[in-house]
Chains A and B, each alone.
Chain A
Amino acid sequence: MIDLLAIGLVSCEPEFENAVTDEGFYDAGDADFSNYVSLGNSLTAGYADGALYRSGQEDSYPNIMAEQFGFVGGGDFTQPLTSDNLGGLLLGGQQILGNRLVLSADENGNPFPAPLAGTPTTDVTTSATGPFNNMGVPGAKSYHLVTPGYGSVAGVANGTANRQRNLSGNNFVIDAMLRGFFAAHKWFSCISPHSVN
């Protein structure tokens, strides 16, 4: 009787005739999704509410796309995640970018955006560990993709860019190539020139 019950327990899980988790349910066609690198600006990086913060990055469109690519052979997708959900940025301990904005209200109930209180913990000089698949940089323009040294502390000061590259002197496309991403049939996505940021 116990054995019978055990069989019942095991076979209890309902199975689909064609499960989406089955091998071959989705077909990649001729595309190779194993490596996906995204280039772009704030939209690509996951910038939201006037700052780059962790949960915004997790909701970045390349991250969402990479998740779906996982169904057709997509590999890991790494992002230069910030340290918190505040979004502010430090340079050597000094805050250089404000925290994200949240909706607040005055005493009459009129809504207005206000910076979220708190001390950020993300420092420009402590680069996150790469290489990264998401190379989106808030504020980047298309020509920055070929600007040598873009984002280095010494050069053009784009703090978030500095965090995802510490190969000095190269531009982004060369960086991506150096990291072996930019091969035939590899996937790039790029949103750029004139965006909200």
Chain B
Amino acid sequence: MKKVLLLTVLFLATAVTYAGGYRVSLQGNKALAMGHTGVAVINSSELVFFNPAGLVYLENKLSVSVGAHGVLADVSYQNSATGETAMTEAGVGTPFYAYVSYQANDWLAFGLGIYTPYGSTVAYEDDWAGSHLVNNIALQAIFVQPSVSIKLSDKFSVGGGPIYATGGVNFNKNLNRTLVDLDGNRSEVTLEQTGISNWGWTASAMLKASENLTVGANYRSEIVLSAEDGDATFENIPNSPLTPFSDTTFSADLPLPAELTMGLSYKHNDFLFAFDYNMTYWSAYESLAVVFGNDTPDSVLLRNYRDASTYRFGLQYEASESFTLRGGYYFDESPVQSGYFAPETPRNDSNGYTAGLTFKVGDRLEIDASFLYLQFDQVDASYDYFVEGSQGLQNQYSSFGGTYKSSVFVPGLGITYKL
């Protein structure tokens, strides 16, 4: 128990990262251990997220899965031309999930899920070399999703439900590369708003093609979090009537992109193989346009993301009555295009290696553990579209680049209760 408590503390003290953009693919310990596959895996109420159509095939009347992940993520930056270096500081955040499914009768099931599919915490040292792009950012989104699952035949089911998303953002950056107040402190702005909400939906289907082969597909709609009347706080502004910066409100749209998943699972004796393909429609993220409530000039940070694919492979082995072992691999394609590599989402392509196990404690309770190591190559990249703020330079872009290297470790722990 003491160890569990310690682990919990560790989880609370770690940073949230994202896999591809600010997508956090950590929606279940069983699934993550298998490379975060699950659109065609009938395993537990994690199906509420991965494929609600499959809920009706669960064997238990009631199934509950609760868990969390601790993300240990760091990004190093260096520029060999200038000798500048930077390293992100660990932030605080806990991606978590809670799923419940209930079998109403042999053709109808209901589910409810609360999970955190998007988020990002990145904090550089204030006034670092790229501080005109970001000092620190914290973005959180929590999804609440009631679901229904209907068996249309013994082999085919559909499912889905509405999604209520609520989130917040806190983003601090220096205004540009040079402006300081009288004492030489860099001028900066903080954008903050919490309680931004919006609705979306998910729909899915599952086909039990044969005794051993299951096929599934799941679509989750785009949800745009629109900040309105957020707080824009300016600090270290030169004390002059000529600097047009004062505390005001801001509005901005942040898209949480749609995602399509297709996959299959194949069972052979005590083994289960799973494959998922994700397409995340990142092209929705064209720019981060911040409009201020007063005369402050608008800020447009071009992003120009492209749609990105993820290929996931998982294997499960039921080793004994008590132990189920899992392993997996995935390739995560970055949505960031060349020249748009911004340090607040410093992600290039990555390889995810996963492992985990389930330990059965009696008939009803299972403990799920998982571990993810996300491997990144170091990358030379730049963001070439920073607009200098001075008048007369409105359409002058400046570039900020260097070498980035990320590393991510994610231990996770959860429980599954079946009745």
Interface residues of A (CB under 8 A from B): 1-2, 4-5, 8-9, 11-21, 25-26, 54-55, 58, 68, 71, 85, 102-105, 109, 111, 116
Give the Cβ gap from B372 to chain A, nearest Cβ, in Å: 11
Select one of B85, B407, B409 contacting A21, CB under 8 A. B85
Closest to B80 in A: A20
B376 touching A14, Cβ below 8 Å: yes
Known interface pairs A102-B240, A105-B240. Does A14 touch B182 (Cβ–Cβ under 8 Å)?
no
A16 touching B78, Cβ below 8 Å: yes
Task: State in angstroms the CA–CA spacing of A13 and B407 once bound together.
Answer: 7
B184 touching A109, Cβ below 8 Å: no
A14 touching B85, Cβ below 8 Å: no
B75 touching A102, Cβ below 8 Å: no
Q: Is B87 an interface residue (CB 8 A)?
A: yes
Q: Contacts of A25 on B, CB cut-off 8 Å?
A: 80
Task: State in angstroms the CA–CA spacing of A71 and B184 once bound together.
Answer: 25
Q: Contacts of B183 on A, CB cut-off 8 Å?
A: 55, 85
Give the Cβ gap from A9 to chain B, nearest Cβ, in Å: 6
Known interface pairs A12-B72, A15-B405. Does A5 touch B10 (Cβ–Cβ under 8 Å)?
yes
The contact sample of 27 A-B pairs, CB cut-off 8 A, is: A1-B3, A2-B7, A8-B411, A12-B73, A12-B74, A12-B409, A14-B76, A14-B376, A15-B76, A15-B405, A16-B378, A17-B378, A20-B79, A20-B83, A21-B78, A25-B80, A55-B180, A55-B183, A55-B184, A85-B182, A85-B183, A85-B184, A102-B182, A103-B238, A103-B240, A109-B241, A111-B242
Closest to B184 in A: A55
Closest to A17 in B: B378
Q: Contacts of B403 on A, CB cut-off 8 Å?
A: 16
Q: Is B6 an interface residue (CB 8 A)?
A: yes
- Number of B residues, CB within 8 Å of A: 32
B3 touching A2, Cβ below 8 Å: yes
A16 touching B74, Cβ below 8 Å: no
Q: Quick one: CB contact mask for B6-44 with A, threshold 8 Å, 1 for yes?
A: 110010000000000000000000000000000000000
- Contacts A14-B378, A16-B403, A85-B183 known; list 7 others, CB within 8 Å: A12-B407, A14-B74, A14-B75, A16-B405, A26-B83, A55-B183, A111-B242
Closest to A116 in B: B182
Task: State in angstroms the CA–CA spacing of A103 and B184 once bound together.
Answer: 15
Q: Contacts of B76 on A, CB cut-off 8 Å?
A: 13-16
Q: Contacts of A26 on B, CB cut-off 8 Å?
A: 83
Closest to B183 in A: A85
Known interface pairs A8-B72, A13-B407, A105-B240. Does A58 touch B83 (Cβ–Cβ under 8 Å)?
no
Interface residues of B (CB under 8 A from A): 3, 6-7, 10, 72-76, 78-80, 82-83, 85, 87, 180, 182-184, 238, 240-242, 376, 378, 403, 405-407, 409, 411
Q: Contacts of A4 on B, CB cut-off 8 Å?
A: 411
Give the Cβ gap from A131 to chain B, nearest Cβ, in Å: 25
A103 touching B407, Cβ below 8 Å: no
Give the Cβ gap from B93 to chain A, nearest Cβ, in Å: 15
Task: State in angstroms the CA–CA spacing of A99 and B240 once bound together.
Answer: 16
B78 touching A20, Cβ below 8 Å: yes
Closest to A67 in B: B83
Task: State in angstroms the CA–CA spacing of A54 and B258 once bound together.
Answer: 53
Task: State in angstroms the CA–CA spacing of A103 and B78 once bound together.
Answer: 36
B378 touching A2, Cβ below 8 Å: no
The 9 closest A-B pairs by CB, nearest first: A55-B184, A14-B407, A14-B405, A8-B409, A105-B241, A14-B76, A12-B72, A20-B78, A71-B83
User: Which of A20, A68, A105, A111 has its CB near the most chain B CB atoms (within 10 A)?
Assistant: A20
Q: Contacts of A18 on B, CB cut-off 8 Å?
A: 80
Q: Contacts of A105 on B, CB cut-off 8 Å?
A: 240-242
Give the Cβ gap from A16 to chain B, nearest Cβ, in Å: 6
B83 touching A68, Cβ below 8 Å: yes
Task: State in angstroms the CA–CA spacing of A189 and B73 once bound together.
Answer: 44
Task: State in angstroms the CA–CA spacing of A145 and B403 once bound together.
Answer: 44
User: Which of A8, A21, A109 has its CB near the most chain B CB atoms (within 10 A)?
Assistant: A8
Q: Contacts of A103 on B, CB cut-off 8 Å?
A: 238, 240, 242
B85 touching A20, Cβ below 8 Å: yes
Task: State in angstroms the CA–CA spacing of A109 and B241 once bound together.
Answer: 8
Give the Cβ gap from A8 to chain B, nearest Cβ, in Å: 5
Give the Cβ gap from A29 to chain B, nearest Cβ, in Å: 16
Select one of A5, A58, A68 contacting B184, CB under 8 A. A58
Task: State in angstroms the CA–CA spacing of A20 and B78 once bound together.
Answer: 7
Closest to A13 in B: B74
Q: Contacts of A14 on B, CB cut-off 8 Å?
A: 74-76, 376, 378, 405-407
Q: Contacts of A58 on B, CB cut-off 8 Å?
A: 184
Task: State in angstroms the CA–CA spacing of A179 and B72 once bound together.
Answer: 51
A13 touching B240, Cβ below 8 Å: no
Task: State in angstroms the CA–CA spacing of A16 and B378 once bound together.
Answer: 7
Task: State in angstroms the CA–CA spacing of A116 and B405 once bound together.
Answer: 45
Q: Contacts of A16 on B, CB cut-off 8 Å?
A: 76, 78, 378, 403, 405
Task: State in angstroms the CA–CA spacing of A126 and B242 once bound together.
Answer: 37
Give the Cβ gap from A65 to chain B, nearest Cβ, in Å: 12
User: Which of A11, A16, A102, A104 has its CB near the most chain B CB atoms (within 10 A)?
Assistant: A16
Task: State in angstroms the CA–CA spacing of A104 and B78 once bound together.
Answer: 39
Q: Contacts of B180 on A, CB cut-off 8 Å?
A: 55
Q: Contacts of B80 on A, CB cut-off 8 Å?
A: 18, 20, 25
